[in-house]
Amino acid sequence: MIKNITRLILITLFAYFVFDYSVAIDVEQFYKDLKRFNLNMDPSLNQTYIFISLVIAFITLFFIYIFRPFVEIYLLHFLKYNFYFLINLISISTIFIIFRIYGYSRLALLVYLVFSTTSLYLSDKIKNK
């Protein structure tokens, strides 16, 4: 439980960093999609960034649990860092495509990938209770 909460918080913070650091990020399409589904919400920009960051974190954790048999059987500690990198890349790119988010900083995205992958790798050493 502690490991999952730690992972959720760290990935959310690192994903929020991508939004905060990117100068020309555009989430206007996300707002238009909310209006298309008759969701008359008017969230602030920070609330939108936090929501999308949380979705990225949940999707990342979901992918880790879906692909866990591949880590345990096939990779077996040899390429675990690469596996976490791939999971982070797939999750953030999936959410950015689905929510149609444009204009993010490539440097911030690379920093996110390195730090979130490292945090997942290091948090693997935390014992689950």
Which sequence spans correspond to the domains of the chain?
Answer: 11-38+46-123
Q: What mean pLDDT do residues 15-32 have? A: 86
DSSP 67: S
Q: What is the model's pLDDT at position 75?
A: 62
Q: What is the model's pLDDT at position 76?
A: 63
Summarised one tens digit per residue, pLDDT across range 46-86 is 888 899 999 999 999 998 888 877 766 666 666 888 888 98
Structural tokens at position 70: 């591949």
User: Of 88, 81, 79, nearest to 112 (Cα)?
Assistant: 88
- Residue 98 and residue 92: Cα distance in Å, rounded? 10
Return the bridge partners of 26, or none. Answer: 102
